């Protein structure tokens, strides 16, 4: 049985996805001077989320694992990324649509270090109705270049996740995790 809340949720999440994806590329295009080259990257990997707080209470444990796929544009020291994160948590399957901004702090011959901030709207794919989900994170990224067009990126930092509608109808859903990720990054010509 489909409810009006389920249809509204689908429309809301669809609108959020379109806004996040279009804003990532239009924002990035708006900050690049004409005639400058953008380095495009594809990134895929795993994110692990050991938890610290659950519903504002100290509750260490494992929150979940997620698969990420990102498309990034890099110009000088700034990188803007957008994509999909699909994960498994205690509440079920989650889909997040990250919009990440990154600033390069240090660049070496084979290592880069940058700071990232991400806003991630999405949903918990619960039955019969999906629930809105929102996450925000700040991470440090160490990128190891092992080839001319590829690198491994290791990230770590705090992530706050909340779902007010899930909390209201099922159970509290407010998490503070330490995000640990590894991604394979491929530079596109």
Split at pLDDT 50, 70, 90, the class of 2 is very low
**E-state strands within 55-130:** 57-75, 78-89, 92-96, 99-107, 111-124
Cβ-Cβ contacts under 8 Å for 6 (sequence gap 6 or more): 128, 129, 130
Phi-psi region at 135: left, alpha or beta (left = phi > 0; alpha = psi -120 to 50): beta
Query: Taking 80 as the threshold, does the pLDDT of residue 34 lie above it?
Result: no
120 pLDDT band (50/70/90 cuts)? very high
What's the pLDDT score for residue 181?
A: 94
Give pLDDT tens digits for 158-181.
999 999 888 888 888 899 999 999
- What structural domains does the chain harbor? 4-188 (2.40.160.20)
Q: pLDDT confidence of 1, banded at 50, 70, 90?
A: very low
């Amino acid at each position: 049985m489909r409810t009006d809340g389920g249809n509204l949720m689908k429309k809301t999440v669809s609108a959020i996805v379109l806004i996040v994806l279009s804003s990532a590329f239009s924002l990035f295009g708006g900050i690049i001077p004409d005639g400058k080259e953008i380095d495009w990257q594809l990134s895929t990997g795993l994110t692990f989320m050991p938890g610290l707080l659950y519903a504002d209470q100290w509750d260490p444990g494992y929150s979940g694992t997620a698969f990420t796929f990102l498309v990034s544009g890099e110009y000088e020291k700034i990188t803007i990324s957008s994509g999909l994160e699909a994960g498994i948590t205690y509440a079920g399957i989650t889909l997040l649509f990250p919009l990440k901004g990154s600033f390069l702090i240090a660049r070496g011959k084979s290592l880069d270090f940058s700071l990232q901030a991400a806003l991630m709207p999405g949903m918990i794919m619960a039955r019969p109705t999906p629930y809105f989900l929102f996450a925000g994170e700040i991470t440090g990224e160490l990128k190891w270049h092992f080839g001319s067009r590829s690198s491994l990126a290791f990230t770590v930092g705090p992530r706050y996740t909340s779902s007010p509608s899930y909390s209201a109808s099922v159970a509290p859903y407010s998490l503070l995790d330490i995000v640990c990720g590894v991604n394979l990054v491929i530079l596109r010509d």
